[in-house]
Amino acid sequence: MAWTRDQIERHTRDLPEAPGVYLMKGRDGHVLYVGKAVHLKNRVSSYFHRSGDPRPFVRLLSGVLDRIEVVVTLNEKEALILENELIKKHRPPFNILLRDDKNYLYLRLDPREPFPRLDLVRRRRPDGATYFGPYHTASSVRGTHAFVNRTFGLRTCRDTQFRNRSRPCLEHQMGRCLGPCALGVPPEAYRARVEAALMFLRGRHDEVVRDLERRMVCAAEAENFEEAARLRDQLRAVRAAMTRQSVVLPVREDVDAVGLAREGDTVAFAVLRFEAGVLLDRIPYVLEGVVAPDDDLADSFLVQYYARAPVPDRLLLPRGVVDGAGALAEVLGARGSRRVQVAEPARGPLHDALRMAEDNARHLLRERLASSQAVGRALRAVADLLGLPRPPRRIEAFDMSQIQGAEPVGSLVVFTDGRPDRKAYRTYAVRGEAGAGDAGAMREVLSRRFSRALSEGGMPDLVLLDGGPSQLSVVSSVLDDLGLRDLPLAALAKSRVVGRGFGAAEHSPERLYVRGAPVGVRDTGAGVEAAPIVPPGNDPGLHLLMRVRDEAHRFAVSFHRKRRSRRAHASVLDDIPGLGRKRRTLLLRRFGSVLALQAATLEDLLAVPGLPASVARAVFERLHG
């Protein structure tokens, strides 16, 4: 739905030229979207111009937006903080809101206690204790918890047990605990173990090794061999843990690398946590039903995520995903009580870490899109887009490929229940029986496919074409001639460049043409054609159809390249009945070359030992026409 001049004037007339936050509200007064801006008037005005903000999110606003309210702030940093608070308060549907972090684990240790215990907790609280995490993999964090307790000898009993024990537990008898509950252990001796455990959890492994070596030597010189042996075992365990670390950055800082991947309304974030340069964990977030614009996703996610996670010294982000890295660095620095560097590395080890985070994000996205729940949602969205009575179980997509009429081929790919069914893929070598060009090739391929389907069965629930209204018209006439007037048919035209100027080129949206869809008509000058359906860019049904169409295109181009390659290496002796590889070799050895073979008479060919007379005559006819 397009904006009218009155709507644009009403929404943008009184906007201030200052930083702040804007709240887009619907007719019922509910907040639809909260955004921040360095210049409120310019930012909000961009939503109402065709060339200013072409994202799918903006097209959704024109039918529901009633008014815009603004809150002016002193700077962009305050706008970012206020935006986060308003998102948490109003929970607008067009913004993202992270779920509760109760599924993640933290390690908690309070060094202010005389005999602290390392705990596994579900929440990070502002209680002054030291937290490590969040950890996504429970087995990993439990293994770390057990390793630290076992290696550094921290107590494992709860506070009530610690206060009421009269004799040490089994852990003390196994040499894993000093027994401070009952043996009057000096706090200084226990403190050394706590400090070593803290250094290890912070990734300062080299310092832990040096400290253990020093204490081991001191114990040996003092002839306290039992303590020296215990420290030796700790040293071995720490070194073994260090060798298991496969990814280490050349910095001694806490670094987070954030990867982002999006397809339609599904967004995946992957946060790789490096403590003192050592990779410790990967925290995944996958959000569905997201309609927020891309450039607001990272800001909103990071502000919400670091409200519950430890703030690193350095944050690595893909280029261009945040609008205003300085303000984000100030907000995170205030939360972490230290300076935070937000970087977009273009090369080197930090760039490699960022690429690894992006690869993880893409993997998370593929996993979610391949899940049964996501596929079912996409198929239901396809049915809604095309007006089908039920989600299509079997989708068949066709595409043609040729270069200046040479080696025309067609491809058929099949998606069953939203997933590629490669055993059902087919290729077609076009014979030219139905005319030249793409239209003739498509008419021939579709006629061959559905003539066979009528005799053998196996009709699809949806036929998809790579193309526009002309391809739709050709295939529609083919199906009508075969009596398949009720078979759902659609064509999906690729996005194309419609304008170039400063910056990125402007692209048209993906356009969907449906046979028999009541979407109106338009006059193109050359006739009347169906007006396209332009689905929102974040529609999961659109993205499923795009994957099907692109797979048909890939398969057709691959087959066409194979045919061209085979033709480039073809021989005049190919495809002669009865002349296989061994007999071709026999002829070339007898005559020396194809030119000498062409100069041979029929009698010469008949005289070749081991070559049947019928094959000799066939070779002669091929060579001499």
pLDDT digits (tens, 9 = 90+) for 43-73: 888 777 654 444 555 666 666 777 888 888 8
**pLDDT of amino acid 52:** 41
Give the model's confidence band at 175: pLDDT under 50 very low, under 70 low, under 90 confident, else very high. Answer: low
Give the model's confidence band at 200: pLDDT under 50 very low, under 70 low, under 90 confident, else very high. Answer: confident
Tokens at residue 460, please? 């699809």
What average pLDDT does the segment 530-552 reach?
83
Tokens at residue 340, please? 């935070």
pLDDT surpasses 70 at 19: yes
* pLDDT: which is higher, 173 or 296: 296
Beta-carbon contacts of 487 under 8 Å, excluding residues fewer than 6 positions away, are 459, 460, 463, 479
**In 91-230, which ranges are E strands?**
105-109, 119-121, 130-135
pLDDT surpasses 70 at 431: yes
Share of the chain above pLDDT 70, in %: 83
Share of the chain above pLDDT 90, in %: 7
What average pLDDT does the segment 263-290 reach?
82
Whose tokens are 């549907």? That residue is 93
pLDDT surpasses 50 at 521: no
Give the model's confidence band at 518: pLDDT under 50 very low, under 70 low, under 90 confident, else very high. Answer: very low
Going by C-alpha positions, the residue among 380, 115, 363, 156 that lies closest to residue 260 is 363
Distance CA 83, CA 92 (A): 11
Alpha helices in 461-591 (DSSP H): 469-481, 540-568, 581-591
Flag whether the pTM goes above 0.85: no
What average pLDDT does the segment 434-440 reach?
73
| DSSP characters over 170-201 | HHHHTTS---TTTS---HHHHHHHHHHHHHHH
Q: What's the chain's average pLDDT?
A: 79
Give the model's confidence band at 599: pLDDT under 50 very low, under 70 low, under 90 confident, else very high. Answer: confident
pLDDT-wise least confident of 34-38, 355-359, 520-524? 520-524
pLDDT surpasses 90 at 392: yes
Distance CA 67, CA 344 (A): 36
What average pLDDT does the segment 350-360 reach?
89
Distance CA 493, CA 476 (A): 16
Going by C-alpha positions, the residue among 301, 273, 300, 269 that lies closest to residue 285 is 269
Q: Return the DSSP state at 419.
A: E
| DSSP characters over 510-546 | PEEEETT----EEE-SS-EEEPPB---TT-HHHHHHH
pLDDT surpasses 70 at 246: no
* pLDDT: which is higher, 414 or 181: 414
Give the model's confidence band at 520: pLDDT under 50 very low, under 70 low, under 90 confident, else very high. Answer: very low
In three-state secondary structure terms, 577 is coil
**pLDDT of amino acid 145:** 80
**pLDDT of amino acid 415:** 93
pLDDT surpasses 90 at 413: yes
Q: Residue 165 — φ and ψ, nearest 5°?
A: -75, 145
pLDDT surpasses 70 at 412: yes
User: For 81-130, what is each residue's pLDDT tens digit?
Assistant: 888 888 888 888 888 777 655 566 788 888 788 888 888 887 777 777 88
Q: Return the DSSP state at 487.
A: S
Going by C-alpha positions, the residue among 239, 238, 218 that lies closest to residue 227 is 218
277, 252 in Cβ contact below 8 A? yes
* Beta strands at 426-429 and 406-416: parallel, antiparallel or unpaired: antiparallel
Orientation of helix 325-336 relative to helix 294-305, angle to 10°: 10
**pLDDT of amino acid 464:** 92
pLDDT surpasses 50 at 180: yes
Give Cα separations from 487 to 450, 477, 574 (angstroms). 11, 12, 41
Distance CA 389, CA 384 (A): 8
What average pLDDT does the segment 15-35 reach?
85
**pLDDT of amino acid 330:** 85
Distance CA 40, CA 31 (A): 17
**pLDDT of amino acid 82:** 84
